Amino acid sequence: MPTHYAPTTKSGERASLHSMRAGFSIDSSVTTPTTSGRTFNARMLILYGLIFITIFVIFAALRFAGDYYRAPLLERPKHTLHQTFKPSGLIGQGFGVMGGLFCVLTLLYPLRKRWRLLENFGAPRTWFQFHIYFGIAGPLLATLHTTFKFGGVASICYWSMMLVMASGFVGRFLFAQLPRNQRGVMLSLKEIEAEIKVVQRHLETIGWRSERGVAVAASPQASNFSAGWRSLLRLWLARRREMRVWRQRLRAQGLSSATAHRLLAILSRQLFLEGSRVTLDLTSRAFSHWHTLHLPFTYLMFITLLIHAGLAIFLGYTWIF
């Protein structure tokens, strides 16, 4: 979308882009405030370490025991790796124990909201990222535990686990569309309006002058469920297209990487807030409906997981314990 900008540099020189119908310049000496609140700390280092280890273990298992996993079920007992990688084997059951444990650890995130004792340990964003990791890594390790063989109560547990993971991706998308402050508290419409004004002042502080502002292709409120989802997806795609345009413009302007990153962060926040102002009620209702559907899958997963683990212990499959 053509938009005309006419800021000036500190020396008063007018900036322009001949290849585009836009012109702007940024005072790189101005430190713009961060809008994402992202920090790299010890907890994030632990998370990235866990992700790396999990990916390594999964790929190593598929590489080393690929022949066993691909073998017909009747031939597996004769395979040299059967005693180790079968569901009750040392490594196979280890995958099941770790997968089940990771699923249990996903409960820490909702517990944090209810236990004041946990509120002071880490930012909500960090807890949520660990919640996502455990929610994905658990079912993946459980898949290796099954040796890609499904049947009985264990199959109910496994597929409910996969349903929870799949619905979790939907919930993650909706969660990301809800505007929140740095403490993780959802913003009201009034607070969104106030923050938009703050972001606009930040843009003016770094020398940004816009005749029209940043436009957002926001969809109108939808009256039914499917139309609501289409509306949210269209807005999400529109924001991504808009940010690609701004990245190209900043690259053509020849700004430093740090300056471009600061400006893109502010522009991204402004686009997000302007879209949220239109779809806040729609997104909130969609997230509420998703939560209503997600909980039964979660209950089913933990009930069948408890039954599966209880039967395994009763039959003497206690792993290394």
CA dihedral 238, 246, 179, 195 (to 10 degrees): -130
Domain ranges of the chain: 42-181+298-314, 189-288
* pLDDT given for residue 208 in this prediction: 58
Tokens encoding 145: 């535990």
Q: What is the pLDDT of residue 165?
A: 95
- How much is the pLDDT for 31? 40
pLDDT value at residue 169: 93
Closest alpha carbon to 200 in 132, 150, 131, 274: 274
Give the tens place of pLDDT for each residue, 86-129: 999 999 999 999 999 999 999 999 888 888 777 778 778 888 99
The pTM of this model reads 0.74
Quick: pLDDT tens for 221-249. Answer: 444 556 667 777 888 888 888 888 888 87
- Low-confidence stretches of the chain (pLDDT beneath 50): 1-38, 210-223
Going from the C-alpha of 124 to that of each of 7, 18, 86, 181, 284, the distances in angstroms are 38, 45, 38, 10, 19
What is the pLDDT, as a whole number, of residue 212? Answer: 40
Residues 6+ apart with CB under 8 A from 222: 228, 230, 231, 282
What was the pLDDT predicted at 274?
Answer: 80
DSSP structure class, residue 9 = -
Q: What CA–CA distance (Å, rounded) separates 63 from 39? A: 35
The pLDDT of residue 228: 65
- Helix boundaries (H) for the chain: 42-64, 66-70, 82-85, 90-105, 108-114, 124-146, 152-177, 189-205, 225-253, 257-314
Number of Cβ within a 10 Å radius of residue 122: 16
Q: Return the pLDDT at 227.
A: 65
Can you give the pLDDT at residue 259? 76
